[in-house]
Structures are given as structure tokens and as C-alpha cells.
Amino acid sequence: MNVITPEELGFSSQRLARINTKMQRYVDENKLAGITTLIARRGKVVHFEKFGMADIEVGLPMADNTIFRIYSMTKPITSVAVLMLFEEGCFRLNDPVVNYLPEFKEGKVLDNGGNLVKSVRPMTIRDLLTHTAGLSYGFDKNFVLDQLYQQYVWGAIEANPTLTLSEWIGAIAGLPLAYQPGTRYLYGVATDVLGYLVQVVSGMPFADFLQERIFAPLGMVDTFFTVPPEKVARFAANYGPQEGGGLSVIDAPHNSRYIRPTQRPSGGGGLLSTTGDYLRFAQLLLNQGELDGVRLLGRKTVELMTTNHLPDGIYVDNDPTTGLGFGLGVSVLMDLGKGQTLGSVGNYGWGGAANTNFWIDPKEELIGILMLQFMPSGTYPVTPDFRILTYQALMD
């Protein structure tokens, strides 16, 4: 990958070097195994650095083409697939989901008293895109609905590893909603439902749609749900904290579930990719839907995608201190002061469970991509560190 002299695009080389110092410290302190950082501006890469190891156990260093589990950075890709079908007239964003997925016909809501009540209105495709549909992830063990998710949604996968996407969505549809659609933000399996919507509406398996309509046209040759055998040698290990300090392998490449084909491609978190591949996807968005003569979305659709759609007073994680709204598949920075971050109002992007992250700043024509493999997300402030160190090096 060609890297332009930073000064040509308004960066200070001396200040950008602070990124290297900080990221290397995370590796030297044995907090993270390896990190890749990339910054692009006006369509050109000004910083692309690798630190540490992709797989400590086999002595594999981070490389330009290391393959990462991007988890929820899958969501913006799935959302683009949905918006492509929207542009083709296959549905409207305010259409009820049940019009296309009859599994969701019940429409029951679990109220605060633990009672099942009828939903005031059906969940819509827009609700799914904005995480306001009332679907959960099942992470809160003290929440009755999340206990049901653990039993019937995630438990279904444990009981049947060959579960198909349609069967899994059926399990999700069989549970009540956490609240009335459109009234709150709750991060959950909504984008997995969107992946199934793409499959049903397009008449193509979801994974095939992504490959034929997005990855192949964009030249994303290393993005997929299953790592091909000939590419496993480039697949990073995933780590977690080890008791007493250090790192522990939680998913080794040679026996990872990601090297085995799946019947349940997750539109919410199942893709693997490289830094270079994800740059091509991010550049498509920054270019308002076009890259190298390939147009996947119209510029007005990208504008709609990257505009806040949450109701007034509602923020990502229902926390106003984030300063984040949510568009159609990406967070949107609404308030620099509340967000306590560097950047521009209108920045958009998202991250993944293994601390991968990307953001796009249309005002500065800037893309930042952070790739590493460590869970849980947010254990270390590596994402805000990278973002701050990027912007402090921007001179014009």
C-alpha cells in the first residue's frame, strides 16, 4: 500500500509519530498482542503502521494483509446492502418488517411489569437500521428478556451449531420486544435480522449477496464469513486478559470457528477482513457511494445513512455524554463537547467487539482505521488514544 508523505496532505510527520510511540507501548506492556493503524485523507494513505504480533504463539507479526475478526464493523456493510435494495425499490424504510419477514407477526412487547402487551405499531426496517426496534443482545443477565435471549437465541446455536440463518431469525422473532418500536435505542441483533431481510428480498443467500454485490465490485478480496484454507496463515489470534496479567488466547486461528463454513452468516458481527479491504469500504462511503468507477449507493442515500435518526433526546446507549446519535448503520457525532473527543460534528463510523474501529470525517475528508484482536471491547482506551493522536497531528 502506497503511503504519501504526511505533509502533502496537511499532517505533521513528527506529530503522527506519537501514534507509533503510544501503540508500541500497549504492546511492550503486554496489554495488546498487536495493532494496526491507518489514516487516509483525500483518498490517499498518510499513515499505515503495524505493531507487535498477529499471533504470538506461532511468531506471526502484524502485516499489511493480516486478517481480523471485525465483529460489529460488519454492521455498516450489512446496512449498505439493505440501502442498495432500498434504492432498487424493493421496500421503503418505514415498511413494517413483517411485510417481508412474517416470523415477526406477533409484535408483543414485554413491559416494565413483566407483562406482554401489544405493540403500538409494527417494527419497521428503519427501526432495525437504527437499533430502535426493541431487539436485544441478551447481555444483561438481570433483565428477564435477556435471560430469554440466552436460553432461546444463543442457546439455539449451542444446541445446534448447524442452525441456518432463517432458523435463527425465527428464534429471535419468537421473543417479545424490549420496548415499543421507535421509542428507545437498544443495541442488539437487529442487523442480523437485516442480513436475513437482504436474503429474503434479494432471493440470494446473504453471504452471496455481499460477495457479488459489494466485495467483488470493490475489490475486497479478503472479506468473508469463513477464512479460506489458503489464507489461514494470515489470520490473527484473538486474545483476552490473563488472570494475573498478560494475554490469553481465546480464539486460535488453527481451530477457530471462522475457518469452518457457517449456515448462519451474521450480518451483525460475522465478517472477517483486512485493514486494506476495510479502507476500500470506508472510502466508498466518504466518496458518497462510489469508488474507482463503481457506484453502490447514490450520494443522497449516503447522506441519509450518515444523518442522525434517533428521536430527540435519545443517544447511543441512551447516554447523552457520548454526544452520539445513530444513522442507518453507523453512529454519528452530534456534539463535540458532550463527546469529549477530537474530530468534527458529523463524524460517523462504528467498532467491533475485538476493539476494531473505524471513523470517517467528511469535513476533513479523513478516514481512521484501527485493527487489533483483544476482548472485551473497551478494556483499554486504545480507540480514543488513536483518534486523539490522529487529530492532534492535523495541521491544515
Phi-psi region of 378 (alpha: psi -120 to 50; beta: other; left: phi over 0): left
Last residue of a domain, one of 162, 179, 202: 202
360 with 216, same domain: the answer is yes
Residue 300 lies in a domain: yes
- pLDDT the model gives residue 244: 86
240 with 265, same domain: the answer is yes
pLDDT digits (tens, 9 = 90+) for 377-391: 999 999 999 999 999
Last residue of a domain, one of 167, 202, 237: 202
Number of residues that make up the chain: 396
- pLDDT the model gives residue 1: 82
Element housing 35 (H / E): strand 34-41
Residue 84 lies in a domain: no
333 with 360, same domain: the answer is yes
Per-residue confidence band for 340, with pLDDT thresholds at 50, 70 and 90: confident
Domain that includes residue 140, residue range? 91-202
Residue 344 lies in a domain: yes
Last residue of a domain, one of 202, 237, 253: 202
CATH number of the domain to which 177 belongs: 1.20.58
Burial 39-66 (b: 16+ CB within 10 A, else e): bbbeeebbbbbbbbbbbbeeebebeeeb
CATH number of the domain to which 248 belongs: 3.40.710.10
Q: Average pLDDT over the chain, rounded to whole? A: 96
- Three-state DSSP class for residue 119: coil
Per-residue confidence band for 72, with pLDDT thresholds at 50, 70 and 90: very high
Mean local confidence (pLDDT), 165-189: 96
- pLDDT the model gives residue 241: 96
pLDDT digits (tens, 9 = 90+) for 22-44: 999 999 999 999 999 999 999 99
220 with 304, same domain: the answer is yes
DSSP 8-state secondary structure symbol assigned to residue 290: E
The H-assigned helical ranges of the chain are 13-28, 74-87, 125-130, 144-148, 155-159, 165-173, 190-202, 206-210, 216-218, 275-286, 299-305, 336-339, 382-391
196 with 212, same domain: the answer is no
Residue 309 lies in a domain: yes
Beta strands at 348-351 and 331-333: parallel, antiparallel or unpaired: antiparallel
Residue 83 lies in a domain: no
- In angstroms, the CA 394 to CA 387 distance is 11
Is residue 217 over pLDDT 90? yes
- In angstroms, the CA 179 to CA 185 distance is 10
182 with 212, same domain: the answer is no
End-to-end distance of the chain based on CA atoms, in angstroms?
24
Q: Exposed/middle/buried for 236, CB within 10 Å: 0-12, 13-18, 19+?
A: buried
Element housing 251 (H / E): strand 247-251
Q: Which residue has the cell 451483525?
A: 268
Residue 1 lies in a domain: no
In the chain, the number of structural domains is: 2
- pLDDT the model gives residue 265: 98
- Between 277 and 141, the more confident residue is 277
Nearest to 225, CA basis, from 239, 210, 237: 210
180 with 246, same domain: the answer is no
Is residue 106 over pLDDT 80? no
- pLDDT the model gives residue 143: 86
pLDDT digits (tens, 9 = 90+) for 113-170: 888 999 999 999 999 999 999 999 999 887 889 999 999 999 989 889 899 999 999 9
* β-pair partners for 371: 36
173 with 306, same domain: the answer is no
Residue 29 lies in a domain: yes
pLDDT digits (tens, 9 = 90+) for 149-161: 999 999 989 889 8
Element housing 326 (H / E): strand 324-326
- Three-state DSSP class for residue 19: helix
- pLDDT the model gives residue 92: 98
At residue 394, what are phi and psi to the nearest 5 degrees?
Answer: -85, 120
Torsion of CA 72, 77, 78, 82, to 10 degrees: 150
Per-residue confidence band for 111, with pLDDT thresholds at 50, 70 and 90: confident
